[in-house]
Amino acid sequence: MIGGGIAGASIAYELAAHRRVVLLEAESALATHTTGRSAATWIPGHGTAVFRALITASGPRFAALADELGAAPFLTTRGTLWAAFDDEGEAALEAMLREQAGEPDAPLALGAAETGRACPVLRAPRAGAIAEGGADVDVMGLHQAFVRGLRRRGGEIRTNARVAAVEPVGELWRVRTTGGEELTAPDVVDAAGAWADVVAGLAGVPALGLQPYRRTIAIAPVPEPTGPLPMVCEATERFYFKNEDPAGAMLLLSPADETPSEPGDPRPEELDVALGLERVEEATGLGLRSVRTAWAGLRTFAPGRGPVVGARPEHPGFHFFAGQGGSGVESSPALAALGAAIVTGTPVPADIPVTPGQVAPGQVSASH
Ligand SMILES: Cc1cc2nc3c(=O)[nH]c(=O)nc-3n(C[C@H](O)[C@H](O)[C@H](O)COP(=O)(O)OP(=O)(O)OC[C@H]3O[C@@H](n4cnc5c(N)ncnc54)[C@H](O)[C@@H]3O)c2cc1C
């Protein structure tokens, strides 16, 4: 397993039920890159059709995993409200509702007054849509539980172990780290997040065409605490926000920026932070003036924006587990189980309505 974010930890846990697993992480600690920087939400109805199916299938799996791993529940209920403030927003809402009509977690359309009632701090929303079933995710609790479960199943974790070379040796793969350590295995799983194409390149496997995009989050003090709010997303994705603490004295907000970036360790740009503050202030009038802290992370998408899982036929044993984009946490329970089935060649669990073909490298663009 290459990469120790939520992707690597979750599929390593699932695979350790069948195989001996060694997880190699370049950094000195796990989850320091994208996984440690998310907005920590589980939003049914988010993303491509394949992601929506995985996110919905993950709902009951979050609860089952907490039991299985002896952890406190990972989810705390919080609805998601999409709000439109202009013609463009209304058109985006309509398109979203049309696309998801009939799906199990499809959001419900709301008029202007109902949207205002669902989030009283909004100024003059024109329309909205609500998914009541969403939740906040205890991302670090989830990640640590996967790691504990992996160790319990006999899996090993090596940090400060950056993979520097991957080469086929007969039917096996030999992996070498910058520290000179060598491992040989029949299967390699590339869960290197923004670096997944870089790792594929080391192995001589054609890239997927992954693109990392920087996204910024800021935490802003609110002069008059709001109390609990839903997760509010502007319908065209110009911003989102939610209360950070139970009293609502702090707001987590984002300009929902998507700046193409190289794999790396991004910092928040002042302009993006200011844009987030300005857009949320315009929509709410909460009196937001400054930020307490801000960070940025990379959301890495494959062409077609769906997840990519499995090996290219010409490179058996080198499995991608990549393209988690903005949904790597909320989809992780089901995506990891799907991934383990694909790597081991066993049937996909019946509660996951996604076929290996829908996520196979090479077919991703066509299948989403
Ligand atoms: C601002 C923001 C908000 C988000 N909000 C949400 C949300 O609300 N809900 C949600 O579900 N998702 C959200 N996401 C997306 C989610 O965080 C990602 O999809 C997920 O964390 C990706 O996990 P990963 O394990 O693929 O990547 P990472 O966590 O980046 O892990 C990849 C790991 O691979 C390691 N690695 C790279 N190269 C090598 C190498 N050569 N050798 C060894 N190790 C290597 C890296 O060091 C890294 O630790 C958000 C993302 C951002 C940035």
* pLDDT tens for each residue of 192-217: 999 999 999 999 999 999 999 999 99
**Residue 268 near ligand 1, beta carbon < 6 Å:** no
- Mean pLDDT on 122-147: 96
CB 309 within 8 A of CB 335: yes
**Residue 195 near ligand 1, beta carbon < 6 Å:** yes
Q: Tokens 């993006």, residue?
A: 272
* pLDDT tens for each residue of 33-70: 999 999 999 999 889 999 999 999 999 999 999 999 99
CATH superfamily for 6-71+138-210+303-367 is: FAD/NAD(P)-binding domain (3.50.50.60)
- Mean pLDDT on 149-164: 98
Q: How far is CA 23 from the centre of its chain?
A: 20
**Residue 15 near ligand 1, beta carbon < 6 Å:** no
CB 42 within 8 A of CB 55: yes
Output helix, strand, coil percentages for the chain, rounded to the nearest 5: 30, 25, 45
Nearest of 216, 273, 219 to residue 249 by alpha carbon: 219
The protein residue whose alpha carbon is closest to atom 4 in ligand 1 is 38
Portions of the chain given CATH number 3.30.9.10? 80-132+213-297
SS3 assignment, position 251: strand
Rounded-to-integer distance, Cα 215 and Cα 258, Å: 6
The CA-to-CA distance between both ends of the chain, in Å, stands at 26
pLDDT band for position 364 (50/70/90)? low
Candidates 329, 330, 331, 335: which one to mutate for ligand 1, based on the most atoms within 8 Å of Cβ? 329
Give 188's strand partners.
318
For 102, half-sphere exposure in the C-beta direction (CA atoms, 13 angstrom radius) is: 3
What is the CA(33)–ligand 1 centre distance, in A? Answer: 6
Q: Does domain 80-132+213-297 have CATH number 3.30.9.10?
A: yes
List Cβ neighbours of 35 (8 Å cut-off, separation of 6 or more): 5, 6, 7, 139, 143, 193, 328, 329
Q: Is the pLDDT of residue 327 over 60?
A: yes
pTM of the prediction? Answer: 0.96
What is the CA(34)–ligand 1 centre distance, in A? Answer: 3
What are the tokens at 128? 């909205």
Rg (CA), the chain: 21
Portions of the chain given CATH number 3.50.50.60? 6-71+138-210+303-367
pLDDT at position 104: 84
